[in-house]
Amino acid sequence: MVETDMNRKYDPRVIEEKWQRCWEDHKTFKVTEDPKKKKYYLLEMFPYPSGKIHIGHVRNYTIGDVVARFKRMRGFNVLHPMGWDSFGMPAENAAIEKGIHPAKWTNENIEEMKKQLKRMGFSYDWDRELSTCEPFYYKWEQLYFLWMYEKGLAYKKGSSVNWCPKCSTVLANEQVEQGLCWRCHSEVQENYLEQWFFRITQYVDDLLEYCDRLGDGWPERVLTMQKNWIGKSYGLEVDFPMADSDEAIKVFTTRQDTLFGATFMLIAAEHPLVMKLAKGKPCEKAAMEFVEKVKKQDRMMRTSDYYEKEGVFLDAYCLNPLTDQKMPIYAANFVLADYGTGCVMAVPTHDQRDFEFAKKYSLPLIVVIQNPEMTLDAETMEEAYVDEGVLVNSGQFNGMNNMKALDAMADYLESLGRGKRTVQYRLRDWGISRQRYWGAPIPIIYCDKCGTVPVPEADLPVVLPLDVEIKGEGGSPLARHKSFVETSCPSCKGPARRETDTMDTFVESSWYFDRFCSPDYDQKPGLDRKKMDYWLPVDQYIGGIEHAILHLLYSRFYTRVLKEFGVLGVDEPFANLLTQGMVVKETMRCKEHGYLFPHEVKEGKCERCSREVVIGKTEKMSKSLKNVIDPDYLIEKYGADTARMFCLFASPPEKDLEWSDQGVEGSFRFLGRVWRIVEDYLDDVKDIKPFAGKDDLEGELKDLRRKTHQTIKKVTDDVDERFHFNTAISAVMELVNVLYQVKRPEKGDARSLSVIKDALETVVILLAPFVPHITEELWEKMGHRDPLVDAAWPAYDPAAASEEEITIVIQVNGKLRGRLVVPAGESDDKIKELALKDEKTGKFLEGKKPVKVVYVPKKLVNIVIR
């Protein structure tokens, strides 16, 4: 059959669908454990099924797919799964707004997004697909909860939460906007609720310590963020005796060196001690009002600027344990109740907050660290002195450097029995209770007689009932669901109530990567240890920087818990982490119609009113700014390969990707260029074997062969070691450019054509991980029966890649003055000699004698003159 021009044109739609079907039919990406092969577990952060994939997903998953396909070609047994983080609030909101059941909404979204992911040609083993909202999944999470409860790793305690009285539900911090509920704008209250917690603090030192061991595989900044979040600080607990009783106030400080300068005491407003001290005194009323005010202030804190430091005197005194000086006690709005002991010794001379407070309430100041540059005077100071210096007014410690005195003073206080070295952390236990419907039920039953009773393992899963009424108000739908709530006590069989809180969705995402290793395993404990041992840890994890702290920290914690249960055997879940940048695009707005979608702009004018469009800042793509690109549209117009190509080529993965329509066009053009050069040679090279590399070549063909092997090396290094796909692709572009430059050999010139064929095949193979469809098609056209996806990654031949001539740069005093082309094997002495004799360079020597000649082998000669 004669091929017409039509079916020889690059038509992405046809070939992409063809190969996607082929991969699906052959289950190409299905993997099983194979002890003979080296495993490679590649994972991208699974998506929340919000409806459609966005460009951020396209980028994230394309990066992962390149690595997965590359590793596969390198002979690894690659696990590359995909699933759905399918519990969460948007589903509940959709239910409230549109009256669709969360389950229906979620599953429809999954359906749609799965179609889109398949259309991108990602190499997932879909047989391992999981969805966290299925009982089949969360059943095991409930089991781990029971085990954690047993070990005291899960516990219940009272804690304060953001509470919206109208919606009668708890709000996450990010759902409180300027102290108001994000949905109904009622004033958010502080509410004290019994909540479930995971004791993450039990592993705090281990989590911190391993930050350093993860060193090579994780980005530095993620580790610093985690370390800061954990916030370990070494200090001292010091007792401050009350002036008129035997009791004492305990404070935590890291600055015992300033203790002689502590002139008053501060207590967090919410601290019970505040009302205890004020009780029955004239200040009681003022104290109570103050506490109420601060509680409200606290809600505003996140969104407002610094608020003023305020306090109220509690008409009580304690004593400085070293000077016995009387210290007035204040309740203050800026002291944190849940850090340290909730009480703070105030040193106004050396702490800016304390300084401001002291000025406001005219409290005494004593300088205890003297500034070596300029003598400090407590009377005239305008701000606290917070740098290093020499101790003064500090008894036997006078004259010491304050940093050096830290240990000495700790020893002294410990010897007096008034202090004790301790460690404090910023990290708190992880509150996992959510007063919401669309989440995994917490497997606990409350009985009036027996108290808190865990659901017996045999009764798991506690299935989330689907027949609920979901309204915006009136609290959790679960709490209103009679047949769910009303149950019998597992221990006394009497009437009992179920826990109606569900778990934070971060719990599901803390172990999904484990479940991917044995997604169908239906025996206790839901994870098959043999498979865990084969696949874990994840060799490469890829996702957005927005999860740098919470998701990654929780996953690290959960891994430790599961290890303790013997469910798996690794210390850390993710050996290597790549955090990819955001996708950004310029914003466009019209004076009349506000932000505009790209399709609403026609030739720089607003489609509706023909006004000039103003190009705004480049920002992260978001629906509200309308600077979005629809992946479906891209695929429709250019195909998945072009979309992938652009995401990879425009910038390295860790940087932000700036969207450019012209850049997409360029990527499409390049693929067309590859397609045409292969098509062009196809008839001539179809039956020719690629050049095998024994006989000598000359001229252009030798250059082409050299370039071919240099490209293999460059692409291999860029992809394998650095994940720099943009430079890898430009290397292939260079090779393609050379192919276009080469003079076309005669039809019968088999030897020359074999070199061309080798170059063409190399282009196709090297591009395979990036653009799998077009390359698979071209591979087939070139006469291959076995699919490219299973082809071996080429090895480069160092001999073929080596240059026979090298260019030596000649510098005079570090300035480029000339070039020298010499045979690669030329001796150093000869090169130096040639450089010194060089005519052009000679002009710049001004007849002077070189003082020195620097020679960098195979690179340059620098002649130094005075």
Partner RNA sequence: GCCUGGGUGGCGGAACUGGUAGACGCAAGGGACUUAAAAUCCCUCGGUCCUCGCGGCUGUGCGGGUUCGACUCCCGCCCCAGGCACCA
Print the SS3 string covering 804-824. CEEEEEEEECCEEEEEEEEEC
User: Which residue type is seen at 807?
Assistant: T
Q: Does position 288 bind RNA by CB under 7 A?
A: no
Alpha helices per DSSP H over 520-612: 529-535, 550-564
**Nearest approach, Cβ of residue 343 and RNA (Å):** 8
> Residue 629, Cα to own-chain centre: how many angstroms?
23
Smaller CB separation from RNA, 140 or 725: 725
Interface pick for RNA out of 335, 455, 678, 774 (rule CB under 7 A): 335
Interface pick for RNA out of 84, 105, 670, 796 (rule CB under 7 A): 670
Smaller CB separation from RNA, 563 or 713: 713
**Nearest approach, Cβ of residue 671 and RNA (Å):** 10
Interface pick for RNA out of 39, 52, 183, 673 (rule CB under 7 A): 673
Interface pick for RNA out of 309, 418, 498, 531 (rule CB under 7 A): 309
Within 535-564, which residues bind RNA (CB under 7 A)?
A: 545, 549
What is the three-class DSSP state of 7?
helix
**Nearest approach, Cβ of residue 664 and RNA (Å):** 9
Interface pick for RNA out of 37, 611, 655, 837 (rule CB under 7 A): 655
Smaller CB separation from RNA, 336 or 609: 336
Lateral strand order in the sheet of 444-447:
451-454, 444-447, 495-498, 486-488
Smaller CB separation from RNA, 46 or 252: 252
Interface pick for RNA out of 451, 569, 814, 823 (rule CB under 7 A): 814
Smaller CB separation from RNA, 229 or 361: 229
What is the three-class DSSP state of 406?
helix
Interface pick for RNA out of 199, 293, 295, 676 (rule CB under 7 A): 676
Smaller CB separation from RNA, 184 or 816: 816
Interface pick for RNA out of 21, 186, 276, 307 (rule CB under 7 A): 307
CA distance 312 to 289: 10
Interface pick for RNA out of 32, 178, 737, 827 (rule CB under 7 A): 737
CA distance 807 to 853: 18
Smaller CB separation from RNA, 31 or 715: 715
Within 751-810, which residues bind RNA (CB under 7 A)?
A: 807, 809
CA distance 499 to 445: 6
* Six token digits for residue 860: 């340059």
Q: Does position 351 bind RNA by CB under 7 A?
A: yes
Alpha helices per DSSP H over 689-771: 699-717, 725-741, 750-767
* Strand ranges, E, within 545-678: 577-580, 583-590, 594-595, 601-602, 605-606, 614-620, 657-658
Return the bridge partners of 181, or none: 176
Interface pick for RNA out of 741, 804, 828, 833 (rule CB under 7 A): 741
**Nearest approach, Cβ of residue 653 and RNA (Å):** 9
Strands 326-332 and 311-319: antiparallel
The phi and psi torsions of 290 (rounded to 5 degrees) equal -60, -45
Residue tagged 């591009």 (tokens): 767
Q: Does position 700 bind RNA by CB under 7 A?
A: no
Per-residue binder mask for RNA (CB under 7 A), 367-386, x = binder = --------------------
Q: Does position 301 bind RNA by CB under 7 A?
A: yes
CA distance 13 to 641: 10
* Six token digits for residue 705: 């062969």
Closest CA to 426 of 242, 225, 636, 702: 225
Within 239-278, which residues bind RNA (CB under 7 A)?
A: 252-255, 268
**Nearest approach, Cβ of residue 439 and RNA (Å):** 23
Smaller CB separation from RNA, 100 or 300: 300
Q: Is the separation of the CB atoms in 302 and 176 below 8 Å?
A: yes
CA distance 539 to 659: 30
Residue tagged 């036997």 (tokens): 396
Interface pick for RNA out of 233, 323, 491, 576 (rule CB under 7 A): 233
Q: Is the separation of the CB atoms in 142 and 440 below 8 Å?
A: yes
Q: Does position 228 bind RNA by CB under 7 A?
A: yes
Interface pick for RNA out of 182, 339, 446, 565 (rule CB under 7 A): 339
Smaller CB separation from RNA, 325 or 730: 730
Interface pick for RNA out of 387, 813, 824, 827 (rule CB under 7 A): 813
Q: Cα separations (Å) of 49 from 644, 847, 863?
A: 21, 76, 65
Interface pick for RNA out of 131, 435, 651, 716 (rule CB under 7 A): 651
Per-residue binder mask for RNA (CB under 7 A), 90-119, x = binder = ------------------------------
| Residue 358, CB-side half-sphere exposure with 13 Å CA sphere | 27
Return the bridge partners of 191, or none: 161
In b/e form, how buried is each residue of 400-428, taking b as 16+ CB within 10 angstroms?
Answer: bebeebbeebbebbeeeebbeeeebeebe
Interface pick for RNA out of 373, 662, 692, 866 (rule CB under 7 A): 662
What are the DSSP calls for 78-95, one per residue?
EE----B---SHHHHHHH
Within 707-736, which residues bind RNA (CB under 7 A)?
A: 714, 717, 724, 726-727, 729-730, 733-734
Within 815-854, which residues bind RNA (CB under 7 A)?
A: 815-817, 819, 840, 852, 854
**Nearest approach, Cβ of residue 658 and RNA (Å):** 5
**Nearest approach, Cβ of residue 516 and RNA (Å):** 28
Q: Does position 682 bind RNA by CB under 7 A?
A: no
Smaller CB separation from RNA, 570 or 812: 812
Binding segment (CB under 7 A) for RNA, from list 30-38, 44-52, 335-343, 454-462: 335-343
Q: Does position 615 bind RNA by CB under 7 A?
A: no
Within 416-455, which residues bind RNA (CB under 7 A)?
A: 424, 426
By CB under 7 A, the count of residues binding RNA is: 82
Question: CA angle 615-619-621, nearest 5°?
Answer: 105
CA distance 851 to 863: 8
